[in-house]
Amino acid sequence: MSAGLVQANRGRALEDLVRAANARYRALKRAVIHKVPTAWVPIRGPNGKIVSAKVEEKASVDFLGHLFLPSGPLPLAFDAKEASRGDRWPLSKLEPHQYEYLRDCALTGAFSFVLVAFWELNKFFVLPFPELEKRWEAWKDRTGPASVRAGEPGLVEVKFWDYLSCVDFRYCNQGK
């Protein structure tokens, strides 16, 4: 298998892992979370057959749903990203429209975050929106770094199959 093929399929592998974890959450009646599909428009050739496709509209974020808490359901919105090499994830890998969607969801009470996989380290971190916002603004203002490093303060390391454990702790212990 070529390195290019492995690299090209990493995002799909992470999404497949998230989908499997989400199926587990649903089976345990802890959460219902779905992958947001990307809308595609077929491009037809002269004979009417589909020869290609283009993105019709940029997707909001990768996943939407809600987590069941004792106080009631908590809406969730998140994007799954990865650092294929090393211990840094570039903020530029989050599209501006994704950041804006996460911001809007956070403003309406959803728990918005980025789930970042650091493949070389075999570690996963949740970057909650308030921390993302601080880092994003500093990066855009050129007063802060352009990347997030695994293990930095503000990121929450999670075990993959229970990546929402940090949400339970955060909201249950604060009475939200």
> What CATH number is attached to the domain comprising 72?
3.40.1350.10
Mean pLDDT of 123-148: 95
| pLDDT exceeds cutoff 50 at 171 | no
Closest to 76 measured CA to CA, from 151, 28, 149, 25? 25
Mean pLDDT of 84-88: 90
Residue 7 lies in a domain: no
Q: Per residue in 54-82, pLDDT tens? A: 655 666 899 999 999 888 899 999 999 99
Helix (H, G, I), strand (E, B) or coil at 149: strand
Residue 108 lies in a domain: yes
Mean pLDDT of 4-27: 76
Closest to 123 measured CA to CA, from 82, 169, 69, 78? 82
Residue 8 lies in a domain: no
| Parent domain of 82 | 15-172
Residue 153 lies in a domain: yes
pLDDT in the model for residue 50: 76
Residue 142 lies in a domain: yes
| pLDDT exceeds cutoff 60 at 1 | no
Residue 2 lies in a domain: no
Q: What are phi and psi of 105, to 5 degrees?
A: -65, -45
Q: pTM of the full predicted structure?
A: 0.81
Residue 41 lies in a domain: yes
Beta strands 111-118; 72-83: pairing state:
parallel
Closest to 146 measured CA to CA, from 82, 94, 84, 81? 94
Q: How many domains does the chain have?
A: 1
Lowest mean pLDDT among 31-35, 79-83, 88-92, 164-168: 164-168
| Percent of the chain whose predicted confidence (pLDDT) is above 70 | 82
Residue 99 lies in a domain: yes
| pLDDT exceeds cutoff 60 at 7 | no
